[in-house]
Structure 1
């Protein structure tokens, strides 16, 4: 029984009110605007939610209706979402990078009646599809820049006008908002969270107040946070990873949420705040690791010497620290010296000095990357879950971090492995199902357990090991099983490789398409005096192919079994991209789509007589225009295979 279990009896607006009664003047939200951090106390937060809620009710948002939110992370996003919850409506996040066609499909599917946009860019997307979304009564915007000519159309509403409406209603009837908040129940639906959409149109996962608050309470039972701790909100709100912090953890603990000035300044703003905990997809930690290596590479020779010496000691010390075993005195001293002389200044430069814990989820992270972060003093831990269980159900504990696993279940979470190897879970954070998809919901919750769709097992330490998606686990033509995700992560530990797509199902051998990291490989090429113009040009250089060949050979050397080894690869002429449908919004590979799109390259990988192929590359730009370029793709057989 947790000391905070009583919070599970509240809805999110009720818990916000409880926070106001407990600590009205403590900072709840902070936003950077024109270089200045502006603070909202819990009292301010509740006041804005009240104004927004009553204003939304006045413009026609009814109980059970849905408001879609297409916005960068700003306080108004939370005012709108929780304001909607307070009047019994439901919020839904749509990724800011979504194109008008995708937005139309989601609005139609979720039966959205009001849309909130942060700026003209998002408003224009909604305007483009106006004739396709007749159910939408109003479009609310936060930033008035560029909106003057739209103001004659009453379809558009400035959020400041929503506040004014709310204030008028509150002045006329001061009790109405409290009555509405009191009507909320913990198990009411409050948000529709889109799944990653790996296999098609995302599904709207129904989330309740209890789902979010339970997750926030249980994760902080394991890793406590203080009300004075800071969090930087830079993940897309449409992703469960951001909602679980802004709805769940913040409400359960009273921490302060900090909103960067813009997406572009998020990492520099993070340095100013120095957060106490951080959550991000693997791609974020891969990017930060690449930045660290670039800093070291550009440093003086003496700094490089110290770094190389102490990282070796740090990697050894990390194994002791992660497993909770006592460290030999000599290694402890060497590790402490490395931390003071090299690693503290290094992680201070990237804003992680005050970090108590960092979490990663959404996809698997290679064990080597875990050990690297632990070696430099960043307490990085894996979490595992999915949208349908509010993002987190399993996590590492301090002193029990096993990089090849995703940790143990959170308190109150049950786990079992089905006969086919599928991971099944049960907890108060499990969603009631999918919006308007009863058959899919039945499959998801068959037998009272959440069916993850992932294959895994529980090891001798009680840790969960995730192998891969059940649908993605591959077998070669001899029937030998291998995980493409495992091999892709092993390749991506190299700073030179940004993305990899593994093939080999029902084939003689494993092959892959590789995206080089343009920043790291570009710097490497400059240092070597290799000239290039575009990404396509750089990826076609034979010297770059030799560099990647060494990375692939290194992965092969560490492969436990022969059929895990990669025999053939090619360097893709373009980066895999969300806008091209090759990645989900959370950065997961749409494997089947990628194979079909590059079928000609796939066929050439498995025809060992081919070492070169002429292709016509097609590029889709954000404005909808496309271009075609002819190029040559080279195919490489790994030496010493």
Structure 2
């Protein structure tokens, strides 16, 4: 950190009162005592919502805690949980914390080395998993471990017990390593019956400074680090966030994002227990959207990819509607956009505009909110990655109070947020209470609060590089404060570039402009020679583009364009023309020095299993630059095509190598056909 800060601001250390001094298990015990028959959580099973009261929740946590103790889990250890969101995930978390252990969440899509890295770093002896898929991963990992020769300094796999909470497909498994979650509860009930008072003594022995949760960092440049978050860290965050945006016991929240992500721990667990909010769990991923509509949550937090996919869904539905519905929605959207622009600046619409907006809301925008499951929403948040201003604006125009937050795993997910009457589409807002913010001399964002983590698990060197002696968290992000005191995040400090004309820019900003198109799923932008290629450059920004298969597929169907696979669709000249027009439109809003001049449609989607993006869909730029170096070099040389080899692996495990020729599209010689109007924000049609 440099000696002097460019700017300093604070949300105030006392504005929201002192953070609650407690632990998650104590909060649960209090809720079970004061609201025993109220619904704490509900899960949809076989089409019916199954409620669990606070008293029932506390009883299951008690039994599971006894069961973990019977398996040998002790204070200071770490229990791993791997699977999709179910009540058992949170029950296992609270149970481990009750006996003084911490929990490390693992994304359900994690495999191989990533899975082993987390389990060995955490030295987890007990892993709670969801289903047969996760059990099979661990059985395979155990087999690989038996044949493994450990390198110097490499940690062994220490897993002794795997507890599963969805038994489907596991009926014939008789491995003593495995244990059904319900059997764990039964065993715990018997173990606890012989030790009256033991559980309450363990809960009372817990302190706010105990590690509650270990969350993995995004790992965009290396293996994820394990950030230790205490009860005090998380509860301070919950208190300060709810001071800005109150949450009540009657508010509903649908939990469908992985608990391994700090965002879900932040809102569903910390804020949920602080305010006694009801959690609802969808039946499965296929029913998430319909279950969301059925519950109609009051509060929601999702990363940008969820909001982008919702916008794409609206665009597809509107495009499939008749001309009258399209016209009505277009009028309603324009009215909503005018009102939103006033409201985010704390102003009110005049009587005429207010009347028009009331009508527009009834006939145009409210039905869309209802289809998205956002009809009852009071406020919702986006974070984890930048959301394009155009997407942000769309949701405000249809009446959704969407707000940007800024934070990291290392500060419990949030330090800065928009206020209801002070939203700017290109900023992330102002600090929450108890948070100090500084901008260093070199433009790095520095944060300090009671929510700054305890450190990286078993990695003191990385901790010392991240938090200084005065408690300032060095985020690694570049940013500045605008004239309203809002924080503007540019990008990761190492990724901020300077154009030949001196313009400072962020690749992420350009990529978000491109991803606003409903047809673009991911975009990775490179400056001339940015991939480190020792080749002559044709100049200009270049881009690797992956298609959104749903929206492009819908467009192709409307255009009567036949195709077989994603690779076939991405190679169609008509699709190249479609994307060329979208990028040209995006270029109009960019300074000339950073406009995209050439692009290629990648033959495959970016996949976290291939390490190309993280589990939270952040692009691993170094992996992309290395894996697709030949394509990037051809783009930067100004060639019109590039020949590549691609390995395709089928579900049965077989794979083949195939040769492909990818077309490179030069936008410097392209112009949008004359007379073609600009595509509306809410539509995929020209």
Deviations 1:53-98 (A, max 9, x none): 1110011111111111011111111111110001111111111111
CA distance in 2, matches of 1:533, 1:585: 28
Residue of 302, 327, 346 corresponding to 1:280 = 302
| Equivalent position of 1:149 in the other structure | 172
CA distance in 1, matches of 2:653, 2:411: 36
| Equivalent position of 2:509 in the other structure | 486
Deviations 1:146-175 (A, max 9, x none): 323333x32211111221122123323331
Deviations 1:324-360 (A, max 9, x none): 1222333222222111111111211221100111110
Tell me by how many angstroms 1:145 deviates: 2.4
Alignment of 1:521 onto 2:552:
yes
- Contact 1:101–1:129, Cα closer than 8 Å, also in 2: no
User: Which range moved further: 324-333 or 546-555?
Assistant: 324-333
Q: Relative to structure 1, is the Cα distance of residues 184 and 497 closer, same or farther in structure 2, using a 3 angstrom cutoff?
A: same
Alignment of 1:638 onto 2:678:
no
Using CA pairs below 8 Å that are at least 6 residues apart, which structure has the higher relative contact order? 2
| Equivalent position of 1:465 in the other structure | 488
- Contact 2:15–2:433, Cα closer than 8 Å, also in 1: no
CA distance in 2, matches of 1:625, 1:453: 42
Deviations 1:281-334 (A, max 9, x none): 100011011111111111121101111122122222211111112223332222
| Equivalent position of 2:571 in the other structure | 540
Tell me by how many angstroms 1:258 deviates: 0.4
| Equivalent position of 1:234 in the other structure | 256
Alignment of 1:574 onto 2:604:
yes
Q: After the TM superposition, which residues 145-544 of structure 1 pair with which residues of structure 2 at under 5 Å, given as runs?
A: 145-151=168-174, 153-447=175-469, 448-476=471-499, 480-504=503-527, 508-544=539-575
| Equivalent position of 2:595 in the other structure | 565
CA distance in 1, matches of 2:468, 2:526: 32
CA distance in 1, matches of 2:310, 2:184: 40
Task: List alignment gaps of at least 5 residues for structure 1.
Answer: none
The SS at the match of 1:388 is: helix
TM-score by length of structure 2 reads 0.90
Deviations 1:407-442 (A, max 9, x none): 011111110011111100011111011001111000
- Contact 1:476–1:505, Cα closer than 8 Å, also in 2: no
Alignment of 1:605 onto 2:628:
no
- Contact 1:580–1:620, Cα closer than 8 Å, also in 2: no
| Equivalent position of 2:84 in the other structure | 72
Q: Relative to structure 1, is the Cα distance of residues 505 and 384 closer, same or farther in structure 2, using a 3 angstrom cutoff?
A: farther
The SS at the match of 2:659 is: strand
Residue of 13, 18, 22 corresponding to 2:30 = 18
User: Which range moved further: 539-548 or 370-379?
Assistant: 539-548
Q: Relative to structure 1, is the Cα distance of residues 345 and 134 closer, same or farther in structure 2, using a 3 angstrom cutoff?
A: closer
User: Which range moved further: 126-135 or 209-218?
Assistant: 126-135
Residue of 129, 138, 143 corresponding to 1:117 = 129
Q: Relative to structure 1, is the Cα distance of residues 154 and 7 closer, same or farther in structure 2, using a 3 angstrom cutoff?
A: farther
Task: List alignment gaps of at least 5 residues for structure 2.
Answer: 1-12, 146-155, 531-538, 671-686
| Equivalent position of 1:594 in the other structure | 624
The SS at the match of 1:116 is: strand
Please tell me the root mean square deviation across aligned C-alpha atoms, in Å: 1.7
TM-score by length of structure 1 reads 0.96
Alignment length (residue pairs): 638
Q: Relative to structure 1, is the Cα distance of residues 446 and 620 closer, same or farther in structure 2, using a 3 angstrom cutoff?
A: farther
